Amino acid sequence: MHNSKITGVGKYLPEKIVTNFDLEKIMDTSDAWIRERTGIIERRFVNPDIETTSYMGAEASKKALKMAGLKPQDIDFIIFATLSADYFFPGAGCPMQIHLGIPGIGAMDIRNQCTGFLYGLATADQFIKTGMYKNILVVGSESHSAGLNMTTQGRDVAVLFGDGAGAVVLSATDEKNKGILVNKLHADGTYARELCVINPGSFTHPIVSHKDIDEGTIYPYMNGKYVFKHAITRFPEVILESLESAGLTIGEVDLVIPHQANQRITEAVQIRLGLPKEKVYSNIHKYGNTTAASIPIAMTDALEEGLIHDNDLISLASFGSGFTWAASLLKW
């Protein structure tokens, strides 16, 4: 059986920067409120004429491929995590193939919101470990700005999210004790309605109506306090679970890269794990919450900042809509 390891990472962020002060002009909010409650200073929004979710995924993938020293034609399979695909269907992995010029290989979308990237990574890991594929692109990409209520009514959610993409190349390796050591995946649909977008969805018939648009059920709903409470419990729980099954302890982790949900969540997790601030990565101030894209973007930034070294023990973790939560442990 092979191991799988990340051989390339890459990110793509739209050029357009939207600061908290820009949001103040279109809704009743303030830079101080957003910074204090979320840690976010600015985020990126797409140019919708060019930067579709699949386009951004392809651009991030090109950078990951370059780092891995591979061509698009070397990729055997695509796993694309997003909640904001170009179309309601098909998934964004299909149009991304075309941007990369590799039609024909398998492409699968994963709809697990903030944990989508880690569900994708775990799936790719299994395909590689069983010998089915050698090189897989695992992509997270989101165009949130197309689906947010950018008025005072939607401010509790709209100020949190930003657009962008991140990607990794996961490759087979025969090196021992290298690459992905453990994946832990969880979900509890009891809480499906606490963080969701109802329409378009077949829960209603038809999937979307003028009434749904008027009532705003096409926009994300979040029970913020509930999400906060569950996130700060599940993040540490799943990180410790992954360490335990690898026979490792939190003290051995070099860097935790959590899904960038909210700085207050990240700080609460860091305190609960008893870690110093510098061992829990954060870049939410620059990009906001980019859902499925946040972990691969954060990995790329952490690498560029010199925070990841050969043989480091890296813990990736996420919590989000579903509720779903997950962790992967890697030896870099």
Q: Which residue is nearest to ligand ACO (CB)?
A: 224
Report the candidate in 191, 185, 251, 245 with the shortest Cα–Cα distance to residue 221.
Answer: 191
Number of separate helices (H) and strands (E) present in the chain: 11, 13
Q: How far is the CB of 304 from ligand ACO (least distance, A)?
A: 23
Q: For ligand ACO, which is the closer residue by CB, 243 or 317?
A: 317
Q: How far is the CB of 47 from ligand ACO (least distance, A)?
A: 24
Q: For ligand ACO, which is the closer residue by CB, 143 or 262?
A: 262
Q: How far is the CB of 285 from ligand ACO (least distance, A)?
A: 14
The H or E element containing residue 302 is helix 294-304
Does 196 participate in catalysis according to the annotation? Answer: no
| CA gap 27, 5 in Å, rounded | 44
Identity of the residue numbered 226: Y
Active-site position among 135, 183, 283, 289: 289
Report the candidate in 215, 194, 195 with the shortest Cα–Cα distance to residue 204.
Answer: 215
Chain mean position to CA 311: 24
Q: For ligand ACO, which is the closer residue by CB, 76 or 156?
A: 156
Q: How far is the CB of 264 from ligand ACO (least distance, A)?
A: 5
| CA gap 116, 294 in Å, rounded | 10
Q: For ligand ACO, which is the closer residue by CB, 172 or 317?
A: 317
Does 223 participate in catalysis according to the annotation? Answer: no
Identity of the residue numbered 29: T
Identity of the residue numbered 100: L
Q: Which token pair is 76? A: 């055997």
Active-site position among 112, 144, 230, 259: 259
Q: Which stretches of the chain bind ligand ACO, using CB under 6 A? A: 29, 33, 37-38, 114, 155-156, 159-160, 195, 224-225, 227-228, 231, 261-262, 264-265, 289, 319-320
Check residue 275 and report its DSSP letter: -
Q: How far is the CB of 227 from ligand ACO (least distance, A)?
A: 4
Active-site position among 114, 144, 230, 283: 114
Does 114 participate in catalysis according to the annotation? Answer: yes
Catalytic residue annotation: 114, 259, 289
